Amino acid sequence: MQKKSYLIVTASIGSGHVKAAEAIEHELKRRYPAANVYTVDFMARETSLLNWLMKEIYLKMLAFVPNLYEFLYKFSGGHTGGTLVQRVLAFVMQWNMAGLIRKYQPQTVICTHPFPEGAASCLKKTGRYDFLFATVMTDFSVHQIWLYPAVDLFFVATEKMKQDLLQAGFAAAKIHVVGIPIECPRKGRCNRQGVLRRLKLDPEVPVLLLMGGGLGLGGIDAALAELEKLTCPVQFLVVAGKNKALADRARELAAASTHKILVWGYTNEVPEFMLAATLLISKPGALTISEALAMQVPLLLHEPIPGPETENAIYVSERGAAVWIRPGDDLLQIVSDLLRSPERQQAMREAAAVWSRPDAAKDMVKKLEPYVIPEK
């Protein structure tokens, strides 16, 4: 009997690509309990020392020279620059991908980041490897670095992205609009009152959730210090991700605060925190936005990583589900005004309900099924 076999290749450059991969893995295992489903971090040290070093350089660039990252993002977005960057990265990384394919022998390869996607594309073009090749774009806009002609199937977040791919010359049959795969709260723990009780929060006091993604970016400590000045009663949930220094600073602020402040590092409970939240203040990572839309929590977005997160902020704010706080805007005043306006909060929740795709992982796996070799 030939089992279905899937290799999901992601990249731990921020947590969004990994979380999307995990959502796909869980749905594949739910739908096909007998299948072999493997998820690999392409940028992990144990996968490739070179890839890991490239990731470390990338993360340092984000932290210390974001303007350089913005330049590289724009350069690689052009057809000439993008093609050059794509060819170099794909060539360098293809040997690691070849090793993974030999190890896992997948029928289907699914990539949630353009680095492993490029490497898989390079192998597929040689004709020596036979696998169904799917890409899951984890942003709300199309960038040249995602565009590889060897991809069999693209799964994208929006109709606009589909149109952009069509204009780039990809066949309509290759493109499926499903949203961005996310995990929904676990059954039995998705009642807001239950979450509030578990966290020992007052149901009559607004809850502000502050997040900076898995890396703890986005000026959370500065935002928390500013929001400490709120004169109305509020409660804070702070998720610092893998940024220990940020978590320590947030706990110092909590110890001296007049408000209740609870602090976490990296956690898988974010969807439940969103369920408890009155407002979410975060940098505009695509997975964070997708989860917030599914949880219908009003979003305040600030300090995007230049490039893709700016596009994400534009997408969701134009649809009425978020407020984009730009440099120079008064965060304290914006939050105060929103807390005093239940009507506006409700309008943002309704907009979120319109644009959310909580079943993206299920829809993606369902659309993938006709292309996969059936079990014998």
CB 355 within 8 A of CB 331: no
Q: Which of 211, 203, 259 is nearest to 235 (CA)?
A: 259
More confident residue, 71 or 343: 343
Does 54 have pLDDT greater than 50?
Answer: yes
The reported pLDDT for the residue numbered 330 is 93
**What is the arithmetic mean of pLDDT over 201-212?**
94
* Predicted pLDDT at 301: 94
Instruction: Please give the pLDDT value at position 85.
Output: 65
CB 303 within 8 A of CB 221: no
- The larger pLDDT score, comparing residue 190 to residue 238, is at 238
Confidence of residue 75 (pLDDT cuts 50, 70, 90): low
pLDDT of 373 = 60
In the block, residue with structure tokens 């596009």: 311
Summarised one tens digit per residue, pLDDT across range 14-48 is: 788 999 999 999 999 999 999 999 999 998 888 87
Length of the chain (residues)? 376
What whole-number distance in Å separates Cα of residue 152 and Cα of residue 143? 18
Percent of residues, the chain, with pLDDT higher than 90: 61
Instruction: Kindly tell me if the per-residue pLDDT of 250 is higher than 80.
Output: yes
pLDDT in tens, 252-300: 988 889 999 999 988 888 888 999 999 999 989 999 999 999 999 999 9
11 pLDDT more than 70: yes
Query: In this structure, what are the phi and psi dihedrals at residue 282, rounded to the nearest 5 degrees?
Result: -155, 160
Thinking of the domain 5-182+358-371, which architecture would CATH place it in?
3-Layer(aba) Sandwich (3.40)
Q: Which residue has the tokens 């219908």?
A: 296
Which of 69-83, 131-145, 333-347 shows the lowest mean pLDDT across its residues?
69-83
pLDDT (average), residues 52-78: 62
Query: Which positions ≥6 away from 151 have C-beta within 8 Å?
Result: 117, 121, 133, 134, 135, 174
Strand partners, 210: 238, 281
Residue 262 is predicted with a pLDDT of 94
Packing angle, helices 360-368 and 16-31, rounded to 10: 60
Query: Model confidence over 106-130: pLDDT tens digits?
Result: 999 999 999 999 999 999 988 899 9
For residue 95, name the pLDDT band (cuts at 50, 70, 90).
Answer: confident
Edge-first strand listing for the sheet containing 322-325: 260-264, 235-239, 207-211, 279-282, 299-302, 322-325
Question: Token pair 């000026």 is at which residue?
Answer: 219
Question: Rounded CA gap, 372 and 245, in Å?
Answer: 45
* C-alpha dihedral, 236 to 242 to 243 to 245, nearest 10°: 90
Which has more confidence, 278 or 82? 278
Mean pLDDT, to the nearest integer, of 197-223?
82
Higher per-residue confidence, 71 vs 251: 251
pLDDT over 50 (residue 311): yes
Listed in order, the ranges of the chain carrying CATH 3.40.50.2000 are: 5-182+358-371, 192-355
Partnered with residue 294 across adjacent β-strands are none
Q: How far apart are CA 246 and CA 212, in angstroms?
A: 10
What are the backbone dihedrals phi and psi of residue 134, each rounded to the nearest 5 degrees, phi first?
-120, 140
Tokens representing residue 27 in the block? 């749905």
Pick the CATH number of 192-355 from 3.40.190.10, 3.40.50.261, 3.40.50.2000, 3.30.70.20: 3.40.50.2000
Q: Is the pLDDT of residue 188 over 50?
A: no
Quick one: tokens of 300? Answer: 């305040």
> Is the model's pLDDT at 324 over the cut of 50?
yes
